[in-house]
Amino acid sequence: MSNSLFRKDAYGLYHYFEQIIEIRNDILNLNHARAQEIVTSKGLAAVTDEEIEFYKTYIHESVHFIDSTSTLWGMEYTCRLYNCFNSNNSKEAIEVFLVNDSEIEQHAHSRIPTTTAFIEYRTMRSILSYNPRYGAYINFKYYSHDGNRFSEVFSTPLTMLALLEGHAYAQELLTALALFKSKDDPISTHLLKKEYEKTLIDTALSEYTCILSFTEQLFDVYKFEERLSIVVLACRFVLDLPDLFPFPQAYIDSCFSNNTDEQIISAFKMELNRGMNRSSLVAIILILLHCSLEAKPINTSSYEFSTELENRIFELFAKEGESVESCKQTFKTLHDISYETSLNLLHEKGAELAYLSALANKDRDWLSFNPTEVALPCVLLTTGEFLSANHELDYDIKKLVFSDDEKASELTKRLKQEKVRKPHLRPTVCHDWLKKIESGEIGVHYYPEDF
């Protein structure tokens, strides 16, 4: 996964197993010295188009690094990754790792081929679906309209790939917009919007951009920058959502009970309660935010948009009679407990780079991403040099790059040999479990179909 997904040329790449950022300064015609100036924000006063692309790529890949090392989802992903490394890719470790990794890889197996080159994303709908290989998930369906009726033309699954790429893409665009605003450059801002719209209608990119497209549909009355902020905050919230901070079940029923089998709804509820399927949770939060903002729009003349947006999200989770501030405090308490536990696990498992990142970025600001303040590792350039971050982690990335350690490549080979699937319970089992729990039944029940 990388920024290259949104461009003709591969400008950058984030290696998830090695946790290395690589940027192709060669095709952007940037030497090491100039690239270093841009990364440390000392050379942004006068930049060429190629240099802006380089900076956006750096932001994009840096977001991937933070998401995979310094969020609750990323720390869990890394811990399970290192379980594979430390056990010589045992069957048991891989089975657990696939719970996370399959939610990223699902897009490659669930996307339906189409000859349609362009889509009208403003007619898309979210459908709760089930796949025996991947469990319950949200499927986005796109429709055409001939003046009389809507016809389905395409569908794509909402996966962790869409969450991670949508988050990184939205953040790089926000950074670019801030740069253009500081330079009083409305032309570049206009061109950026046009390129963005062109990206969203590209069918080939829909599996990466569907969260962005869905946001465009739901929040079209808000400014471009505000819509991007909605994507960023929703994704950050979901990536850092503690397992013990439950999602209100009634919301799921209200969103899907009219057109979805109740057994699939039960399976979906159980996955969310187990910290799985975070990408689908983004879609639900966007739907609920849409309802909240439609009923009571944010008065941007009175509030900082991102701050008020955060309050609206916590309003969704607040219990009856609970204040937003109290809900935030509960979230923070549960988050900090989970974070400390995950931090210790990273250290125990030898995930040194992720551990240092999680430790240094523990108190990072939720509402902004400042590359000069976030702790990051060195970045590998394709010309062979390394870029230093403004706030650099004390880690020898060069040693990792030139290491002869084959753990990551061996795991990649092993996963290719496996039939990628997400370990999960069948919807009938989930539904039966929930019914028994609701009725207060205690005991052991055997499901012979699963053995």
Is 50 exceeded by the pLDDT of residue 310?
yes
Q: Which pLDDT belongs to residue 3? A: 45
Q: Which pLDDT belongs to residue 47? A: 84
Q: Which pLDDT belongs to residue 297? A: 87
Averaged over 214-223, what is the pLDDT? 94
Q: Which pLDDT belongs to residue 451? A: 43
Is 50 exceeded by the pLDDT of residue 8?
no
* Full-model pTM: 0.91
Band (pLDDT 50/70/90 cuts) for residue 303 is low
CA angle 343, 347, 352 (to 5 degrees): 105
| Residue in this structure with the two tokens 């969310």, named with its chain if needed | 272
Token reading at 127: 């459908």
Domain extents for the chain? Answer: 1-105+339-420, 109-317
Phi, psi of 132, deg, nearest 5? -55, -25
What distance in Å separates the CA atoms of residue 417 and residue 24, rounded to the nearest whole number?
30
Task: List, for residues 233-258, the tens digit of each pLDDT value.
Answer: 999 999 999 988 877 778 888 887 77
Task: List, for residues 436-445, the tens digit of each pLDDT value.
Answer: 777 777 777 7
Higher pLDDT, 357 or 253: 357
Of 36, 57, 56, 38, give the one whose Cα is nearest residue 47.
38
Higher pLDDT, 299 or 107: 299
Q: Which pLDDT belongs to residue 4? A: 43
Q: Which pLDDT belongs to residue 20? A: 93
Q: What is the DSSP string of 119-146?
A: --GGG-EEEEEEETTTEEEEEEEEEEE-
Task: List, for residues 406-444, the tens digit of each pLDDT value.
Answer: 888 899 888 887 766 777 777 777 777 677 777 777 777
Is 60 exceeded by the pLDDT of residue 262?
yes
Strand, coil or helix: 27: coil
Band (pLDDT 50/70/90 cuts) for residue 112 is low
Is 70 exceeded by the pLDDT of residue 1?
no
Band (pLDDT 50/70/90 cuts) for residue 101 is confident
By the 8 A CB rule, do 237 and 231 touch?
A: no
Is 70 exceeded by the pLDDT of residue 109?
no
CA dist list (Å): 22 to 3, 55, 61, 300:
11, 13, 8, 38
Band (pLDDT 50/70/90 cuts) for residue 110 is low
Task: List, for residues 162-213, the tens digit of each pLDDT value.
Answer: 999 999 999 999 999 999 998 889 999 999 999 999 999 988 888 889 999 9
CB atoms within 10 A of CB 88: 11
Q: Which pLDDT belongs to residue 448? A: 64
Q: Which pLDDT belongs to residue 406? A: 86
By the 8 A CB rule, do 8 and 37 touch?
A: no
Share above pLDDT 90 across residues of the chain, in percent, rounded to a whole number: 48
What distance in Å separates the CA atoms of residue 121 and residue 111, rounded to the nearest whole number?
16
Task: List, for residues 61-74, the tens digit of each pLDDT value.
Answer: 999 999 999 999 99
By mean pLDDT, which of 114-118, 208-212, 252-256, 312-316 is the weakest? 114-118
Averaged over 140-148, what is the pLDDT? 79
Phi-psi domain of 147 (left: phi exceeds 0; alpha: psi -120 through 50; beta: other): left
By the 8 A CB rule, do 22 and 403 touch?
A: no
CB atoms within 10 A of CB 8: 6
Task: List, for residues 362-374, the tens digit of each pLDDT value.
Answer: 988 777 788 888 9
What distance in Å separates the CA atoms of residue 448 and residue 265, rounded to the nearest whole number?
22
Q: Which pLDDT belongs to residue 9? A: 54
Is 90 exceeded by the pLDDT of residue 22?
yes
Averaged over 119-123, what is the pLDDT? 78
Band (pLDDT 50/70/90 cuts) for residue 355 is very high
Tell me the average pLDDT of the chain.
86
Q: Kind and range of the H or E element at 181?
A: helix 160-182
Token reading at 440: 């207060």
Q: Which residues pair with 145 in a beta bridge?
A: 150
Token reading at 231: 């994507």
